[in-house]
Amino acid sequence: MTVQGTARWWRRGRDEAQARARAAAGSAASVFVAVDGLQRSTELQVDSLVALDPAAGARVGPDWQALRADTDAALAAYLKVPAEFDIETDLSERDARLAEAAFRHAEETLQRAATAMRDFTARHAAVFSHVEAAVTRLGAAGREADAALSAARAAIEAAERAGTPAFEAAEVLSAAERARAIVAEGPAVHGLRATVAAADGVLAEAARARSLAETVREQGEEVRRSLASVHTRADAVATRRERLPATLSALRREFVAAAYADVEGSPAEADRLLSAARERIAAAERESTRQHWPSARAEVAAAREALDAASHAVDAVTRRLAALEELKRDPREPVRRTRFAVREAQRLFVFLGQNVDRKYAPQLDSLVRRIGAAEEALEAPHPDYWRVDRDLARIRDETAAVVSAMRGVPRS
């Protein structure tokens, strides 16, 4: 009994050291498995990010490469420990203590690696969540896109059967189908951002195609109303154009040539624009007969633009005569208005006194002299009322600029 008891006492330190070594080995092994799994899952996230959103992946990549190298080193360092210490054998107490220390150190290194990976995931949680949500969304978007495309095709086919072909809807549907092809090829080919945008585009364009197909009859009615309106407007502009010879005759009788020279070409310009408008109207009617409403709308819009320009050309002549007749009736009125503006500016200059730059005094004096010159021009036997009116308008503009400068107010 004494001999056996003595033997057990003699091994107690060795047995305890071996037990601690085995416990340390078990603990380190558990951490190794956890770190290995964490690294695999994190790497999968990073690889998915790089594949689906290369720009975001490029930002995260360098951080991950450094972390992965550190983690690989920690895993490799752990694997060397069980290779060096076989805890299943009857280790000496000294070797058992060395094994325990080595396993504890390896575990601490692995724990630091795990903490670093968790920190990495937390730092980039937003971008990882975005990618995950986008991938989930793309899965649903694909199904929704197919349903939307199917509904659009059905609406277009129904319009065709009703004898009202939906050309614009078919064009929009074609664009939606091209976007669907991008979604099908996926983020690996086009990147996450472009694929998500394409998915949104499919739904929007498919819905638009369906709406266009379902409202094609109403579109036709709208185009026909627009055609009637633009016809009426073209006739109205043409009627006003017919009066221009009398207007030009009055200008030539009553005023010097320089007063209206810049608008003498307006009748020819109006004719050109009216002709262009009528060509567009005829094209719109042809497209309307074909029931190609998008083209018909475009032609109507072009006709309206030409009529706007033609109307402006006609107005240039009639307004010039009206303005010159008003000036002839009271040629002094713009002189009085301009002189009043300059005098007010001079009063402001005096009021501001030493707070205003002296350079404005000669500028205001120059404006006064120009008013006098304009007034003298009105005394000529056949004054150029239009030139005098434009000169006075420029004087008023320059006066306003001087007033703003004296007040320190920037002019827009």
The answer on pLDDT for 238 being more than 80 is yes
Measured in degrees and rounded to the nearest 5, phi and psi for residue 97 equal: -65, -40
9-13, 133-137, 212-216, 289-293: least confident range? 9-13
Confidence of residue 4 (pLDDT cuts 50, 70, 90): very low
Nearest to 24 by CA among 106, 80, 86, 125: 106
Q: Give me the pLDDT at residue 127, please.
A: 79
Q: Give me the pLDDT at residue 270, please.
A: 97
In sequence order, the 6+-apart residues with CB closer than 8 A to the CB of 389 are 323, 327, 334
pTM, entire model: 0.58
Mean pLDDT over residues 264-270, rounded?
95
Confidence of residue 236 (pLDDT cuts 50, 70, 90): very high
Q: Give me the pLDDT at residue 214, please.
A: 85
pLDDT digits (tens, 9 = 90+) for 93-135: 888 888 889 889 989 999 999 999 898 888 888 877 777 777 7
The answer on pLDDT for 158 being more than 90 is no
The answer on pLDDT for 13 being more than 60 is yes
Quote the distance between the C-alpha of residue 339 and its chain's center: 50
- Two tokens, residue 401: 């600029």
Nearest to 291 by CA among 369, 213, 233: 213
The answer on pLDDT for 410 being more than 60 is no
Q: Give me the pLDDT at residue 409, please.
A: 58
**10 Å Cβ neighbour count for 345?**
21
Distance of alpha carbon 338 from alpha carbon 159, whole angstroms: 66
Distances (CA, A) of 252 to 98, 312, 387: 118, 21, 16
Q: Give me the pLDDT at residue 5, please.
A: 46
Q: What is the mean pLDDT of the chain?
A: 87
Q: Give me the pLDDT at residue 1, please.
A: 41
By percentage, how much of the chain surpasses pLDDT 70?
95
pLDDT digits (tens, 9 = 90+) for 16-35: 888 888 888 889 899 999 99
pLDDT digits (tens, 9 = 90+) for 321-351: 999 999 999 999 999 999 999 999 999 999 9
Q: Give me the pLDDT at residue 10, please.
A: 54
